[in-house]
Structure 1
């Protein structure tokens, strides 16, 4: 049964983040694959900027379109040009045109300077341009080094044809502000069906092979920010939206006023052959939202999708 989807903000200084609607890790950086630190990145172009109700927290969404079109995009890294910002979230958009191409990774790089996205076509050729996104975060009164030291990235991994993994953060000290995933696939390939906040302190991802046996290792990442920063206590919110059943379902979760977007995700409720994520996209406009979309592939499987937007503000 699908969860009821609503929105609620909670001051984490007292009661912690509350997720309505919709594995331990270590300190920042230790659980993100070390290889990502060395990946060459492309500097993103800013799309917008938002400030929370305190006036101290600023986020911007940066984007890059990878060209020319190719069948597989592996570890496409978008970096943030603002020296005061860390990458706290992101996403990617492949395509649902023609045969379509699907997402296989969306996660932070090792030093929080950017976001890493991968995609691939599957069985049928579908060269595509991959649009990548990174959400930059800065806090007035804190240096980038201080802010990065206030982030915790936990991880968990699992292997199989339909792997699922759930990563957590230490909820006594940190609040959940986002998450991501990476699929280490070979052969035919294994494709994402979910990457979303599964509780107040955990992030879950799922993936599956499609039409041909292809087990893979799925890595899931949960991103946390200290509950108490030198400039104030952090309050968080998760907005959720449900997409109607369709061959290519989509939904948009919109943040309430006063918060700034730090992450987002989606959970596809597929039934038979499978329905796969091709879009995880933070806001491109002056409204703060997170949009996600999925598609059946090769075989009909109308499905539903739940989409989440994660935001913070200082109290």
Structure 2
């Protein structure tokens, strides 16, 4: 049974209560072995031109992914675009998101979700010893892009990114699993020149854990229709627990950028992109990464 709350009611609740960094656990997913559990924790930022949100998790959970969306559509705004979604530090106790308006003022709230994992029979410290965080850094350029790779003997769980800009701003175009062992991230400036550095993050787990078994992943994807503001969702593969995901916006002119890249309490990964002050319809692709144990 799904005990999660809908995004609509989460938005209403957040408006009533005011800003919060979270930690509210919304849903737990289990792989078909019953050994791996992943959970979604949610929170929301203060309303700001450049909102930031950090979502902590507790207990024996280890953060492996996350994402969120900005609420520009709820108030008919110009748009607020994602600039970061990444593990806060190597302790893997929280996930951080950042966004910004661009060219026209539009203060927004980030509604965010962190995905965490636990494995039956392992303490948090034991599980953490089997998890790795790898990072790659792009060149400083108007359209930065870079791929972070998983080390041999590890299985990809989740992807993250940080578009480090100054000036007008550089916003996310994509952050997604390039394959079963790599995470790609891409950004772009828009209308006004604003080079940046893109950081891509890959979170992985040892492919074999004694006493647990072999951990394998699988990735599903789905494309949106052609639109100025395309959105699409995809569910984790059957028998796998949702571990991470990503999104990629395609465009043919001025550009499409991400405002939504997130897991949902339904076990899906949802992606949304938009053109911004210059018409440029396109597509967005959503990715869902699932994890399971093969004894």
Q: Same fold (TM over 0.5)?
A: yes
The reply to whether residue 292 of structure 1 matches residue 292 of structure 2 is no
SS at match of 1:146: helix
Task: Specify which of 167, 175, 182 is matched with residue 155 of structure 2.
Answer: 175
Say whether the 8 Å CA contact 1:95–1:279 is kept in structure 2. no
Task: Specify which of 282, 291, 295 is matched with residue 303 of structure 1.
Answer: 282
Name the structure 2 match of 1:60. Answer: 39
For structure 1, list consecutive stretches of 5 or more residues without a partner in the other structure: 1-40
The reply to whether residue 85 of structure 1 matches residue 64 of structure 2 is no
Aligned-pair CA distance for 1:96: 4.2
Task: Specify which of 102, 106, 109 is matched with residue 85 of structure 2.
Answer: 106
Greater RCO (CA < 8 Å, at least 6 residues apart): 1
TM-score under structure 1 length normalisation: 0.83
The reply to whether residue 280 of structure 1 matches residue 280 of structure 2 is no
Alpha-carbon deviations, 1:249-296, whole Å to 9, x = none? 111111132110110101111111010100011012xx3110010000
Bigger shift: 88-97 or 266-275?
A: 88-97
The reply to whether residue 95 of structure 1 matches residue 74 of structure 2 is no
SS at match of 2:288: strand
Task: Specify which of 261, 264, 274 is matched with residue 242 of structure 2.
Answer: 261
Return the alpha-carbon distance in structure 2 between the equivalents of residues 200 and 61 of structure 1: 22
Task: Specify which of 144, 149, 164 is matched with residue 129 of structure 2.
Answer: 149
Alpha-carbon deviations, 1:63-93, whole Å to 9, x = none? 01223x111124x211013x11100110011
Return the alpha-carbon distance in structure 2 between the equivalents of residues 254 and 51 of structure 1: 14
Return the alpha-carbon distance in structure 2 between the equivalents of residues 44 and 161 of structure 1: 36
SS at match of 1:272: coil
For structure 2, list consecutive stretches of 5 or more residues without a partner in the other structure: 1-19
The reply to whether residue 165 of structure 1 matches residue 151 of structure 2 is no
SS at match of 1:244: coil
SS at match of 1:44: strand
Say whether the 8 Å CA contact 1:157–1:217 is kept in structure 2. yes
Say whether the 8 Å CA contact 1:164–1:205 is kept in structure 2. yes
Alpha-carbon deviations, 1:190-238, whole Å to 9, x = none? 0000001112211101000001000011111111111001211112110
Name the structure 1 match of 2:48. Answer: 70
Alpha-carbon deviations, 1:130-163, whole Å to 9, x = none? 1111011100011111111111111111120000
Task: Specify which of 184, 190, 198 is matched with residue 164 of structure 2.
Answer: 184
Superposed CA RMSD in Å reads 1.2
Aligned-pair CA distance for 1:121: 0.5
The reply to whether residue 215 of structure 1 matches residue 191 of structure 2 is no
Return the alpha-carbon distance in structure 2 between the equivalents of residues 138 and 169 of structure 1: 20
Moved over 2 A (4+): none
Return the alpha-carbon distance in structure 2 between the equivalents of residues 201 and 258 of structure 1: 20
Say whether the 8 Å CA contact 2:219–2:237 is kept in structure 1. no
Say whether the 8 Å CA contact 2:32–2:240 is kept in structure 1. yes
Say whether the 8 Å CA contact 2:145–2:186 is kept in structure 1. yes
Return the alpha-carbon distance in structure 2 between the equivalents of residues 116 and 107 of structure 1: 6
Return the alpha-carbon distance in structure 1 between the equivalents of residues 259 and 121 of structure 2: 38
TM-score under structure 2 length normalisation: 0.89
Return the alpha-carbon distance in structure 2 between the equivalents of residues 209 and 80 of structure 1: 33
SS at match of 1:298: coil
SS at match of 2:34: coil
Alpha-carbon deviations, 1:163-201, whole Å to 9, x = none? 01111011x310111111001111100000000111221
Equivalences, count: 269
Name the structure 1 match of 2:216. Answer: 235
Aligned-pair CA distance for 1:127: 0.9
